[in-house]
Structure 1
Amino acid sequence: MKIAIRVVAWLISLLVVVQAASIAYALMSIGHLVFDDGGTVDKDTEVGGVGFALHSIVGMQVIPALAIILLILALILRSPAVTWLAVSVVVAVALQVVLGIFGADAPALGWLHGIVAFVVFVLAGITGQRTMSARAVPQAATATG
């Protein structure tokens, strides 16, 4: 169980890096179009589409699903320390999703969105690291009768 938690936690951290790379690609593609080629951007512009799509799919579906799986695995492990770390990952991911959704209408939220990405990266990494030394709470003996 500990290895599964570690793998899922570190996979979340890795996917945060993929998130950063995909959005950087998308925005640099637009920058190249506008500043180097003199093009314009509107809602039909397809430049950077792969980066935007990857950022959206990984951020809105894959990472949240993995965060929930991480929490379920932590609950099965029955380690309070790992469970609280997993809860913190889920909360940070939820905040990240909300900031991403509302960031389209309030671009200033992009500052927080970027900062919370680092928080998710660090929390998931700590969860993976601390899981191996975590101790599970022993299950209570049940009376048979």
Structure 2
Amino acid sequence: MTDELLRETAHKIGCCAGELSAEGRTVDLLLTLFVPEDEVAFCLFAAGSPASVAQVCRQAEIPFHRIAEAIESAATGRCVENGDAMDPLDQPHLKGENHMKAVYKILAIVVAAQVVLQSMAMVYAVAGQGKWVLEGGVLDAAVIESRAFVFPEVLGYAVHGMVGTMIIPLTALILLISSFFTKVPGAVKWAALVLLLVAAQVTLGFLGHDIPALGALHGFNALLLFSAAIYAARLARNGVASQTADPDARLAPRT
């Protein structure tokens, strides 16, 4: 086995592990070793179960002899820097990656929460408008163009407009920027999809004033945006979990 083949094998296993983690089953390839003298390769995983590791290997079409559970000793695998013991998982670059994954997850959740806030604000405003009309209020072009707070719930329209045209797009843009530093498979793709759906949402919202039928698409697109943001958050959550997995859950298949 050459170095190039070993790298290709590790890449294939890593991709399959990322796909499985995206489904909610944490699997992360930590290390790949090849012993030329014995013609044996070892892969070290952080995973929730042997079945998950076996599934990754099968998907990657990597034959394996067995999967053995490994227990990490607190005194093993530590390096000493300036006289202080330091866990390899606590090295600065790994900490930085985990911090960016946490930022990515939080931003994705914030986008989803803002979509919910948008829906609540709109229903609040429409309900208040209906109550105001039933009580004798008259809604015409003059009232709409005046932008006056003729009933208290009109605040919902203002919140809907401000959050939808300013805050959500800015949050989605920051999410996309952070995705390049998370090192999570699929993070950039889903962040880009979230930003694309946000752009579509804003466009449909403005066009809906002239073409009411687009209002229905505006609501449907909001559901797509919410779903994409939640999925992006799950990607990051799985990525953080794989880095901080319990040492007792690390499994090493021998191939």
1:70 maps to 2:168 = no
Which residue matches 1:141?
Answer: none
Q: Which amino acid aligns with 2:216?
A: W
Contact 2:128–2:154, Cα closer than 8 Å, also in 1: no
1:117 corresponds, among 217, 222, 228, to: 222
What 5-or-longer segments of structure 2 have no aligned partner? 1-99, 241-255
CA offset digits 1:113-140 (Å, max 9, x no partner): 00011111110001001113249xxxxx
How far 1:80 sits from its partner (Å)? 4.2
Which residue matches 1:101?
Answer: 206
CA offset digits 1:5-29 (Å, max 9, x no partner): 0000001111111100100011111
1:61 maps to 2:159 = no
What percent of counterpart residues are identical? 34
TM-score, L = length of structure 2: 0.50
1:41 corresponds, among 139, 146, 153, to: 139
CA offset digits 1:91-123 (Å, max 9, x no partner): 100000000111111121110000011111110
- Structure number with the higher strand fraction is 2
CA offset digits 1:46-84 (Å, max 9, x no partner): 333210110000000000000000000001224340110
Q: Which amino acid aligns with 2:139?
A: V
Larger radius of gyration: 2
RMSD: 1.5
Which residue matches 2:184?
Answer: 79
- Structure number with the higher helix fraction is 1
Q: Which amino acid aligns with 2:135?
A: D
The alignment partner of 1:76 has SS state of coil
Deviating beyond 6 angstroms after TM superposition, the runs of 4 or more aligned structure 1 residues are none
Contact 1:81–1:134, Cα closer than 8 Å, also in 2: no
Contact 2:125–2:155, Cα closer than 8 Å, also in 1: yes
Q: Which amino acid aligns with 1:41?
A: L
TM-score, L = length of structure 1: 0.86
Which residue matches 2:115?
Answer: 16
